[in-house]
Amino acid sequence: MPFPQTRLRRLRATRAVRGLVRETRLDAGDFVYPMFVAHGIDRREPIVAMPGVDRLSIAHAVAETGDAQQLGIPAVLLFGLPASKDEEGSGAWDDEGVIQLATRAIKEAHPELLVVTDLCLCEYTSHGHCGVVRPDGSVDNDATLELLARTAVSQARAGADVIAPSDMMDGRVGAIRAALDEEDHVETPILAYSAKFASAFYGPFREAADSAPAFGDRRSYQMDPANGNEAVREAQLDAEEGADILMVKPALPYLDLIRRVKETTAMPLAAYNVSGEYAMLKAAAAAGYLDERSAVLETLTSIRRAGADIVITYHAKDAAQWLR
């Protein structure tokens, strides 16, 4: 019925009524907390572009994951900074590599916490690209698959609960699934970075993880920001190859694709609230342009409302405290 019989403001009149009819819930249990673990340091190293986020020694990472778990955050996502790099990125599949050591330490201290391991070669290669580089500077998709599969097995052997390939090579989910199954890790799920765009919002991450490419860019394998149908196809292909959870990355510029991927696949869906999204809110709050708590919670709610079941965010600890 039209106004005046219909008054939508009736359901906004009090906090209790607003809570009763709220369509989208935000909870610490929705979050995955990304962390940067560095080999060979014994301290926290602040990341200038990401206030409140540090590079961590393994011991500090164990303590940080304990803090996250106490706040009700169920999972962490680990990125590694190795002691050295080479052309192939061999540190990625080293059983004594930084991610493998950190995973074992975290699982020993906090066995109920889920450890998700990012699987990519860019942090480990001397050239900073996500795969094997040919003499002409292009990335060899098929040669990279073997190295990704080897890394996945090493991470699973170390105790990773979830493997999260972020490289954007064609066929990598199928190759990783086959390798995990062959090594009796059939129960280890894959969280695929399915629609990962070549985004301007990754800048602070590349400082944090020391992973900027030494030449060229990643546009030959990461997605064109203009392409929505292709993002849906990427997600569908990952599902067909055996992914258990899909992802859209970044989150805020791609809320429409979070919705489309969720509606098309009906699969569990993560969205990555990336470093640039985090940094711009931090900078605006520091300048007094907005209220950080309100802006962060509104942002994370919008990602959930768009259709994400899981939100990977550097705001996780602060948001979990505010939601309490």
> Which residues, in sequence order, are CB contacts of 117 under 8 Å at separation 6+?
77, 78, 99, 103, 155, 158, 160, 162, 163, 164
Catalytic residue among 196, 262, 282, 317: 196
Contact 33, 68 (CB under 8 A): yes
User: Strand 75-81 and strand 114-119: pairing?
Assistant: parallel
Catalytic residue among 107, 249, 262, 282: 249
Q: Which residue has the tokens 């894959």?
A: 190
Buried-exposed string 267-276: b where 16+ CB fall within 10 A, e elsewhere: bbbbbbbbbb
Residue 290 and residue 85: Cα distance in Å, rounded?
41
CA torsion 116-119-123-128 (nearest 10°) is -150
Per the annotation, the verdict on 85 as an active-site residue is: no
> Which residues, in sequence order, are CB contacts of 223 under 8 Å at separation 6+?
168, 195, 196, 197, 198, 230, 231, 234
Largest CA distance in the chain: 72
Rounded to 5°, angle at Cα 226 from 220 and 232:
85
User: Strand 139-140 and strand 132-133: pairing?
Assistant: antiparallel
Q: Which residue has the tokens 């097995």?
A: 153
Contact 113, 74 (CB under 8 A): yes
Contact 89, 124 (CB under 8 A): yes
Number of Cβ within 10 Å of residue 75's Cβ equals 21
Helix (H) or strand (E) holding 321: helix 316-323
Query: Which residues are the active-site residues?
Result: 196, 249
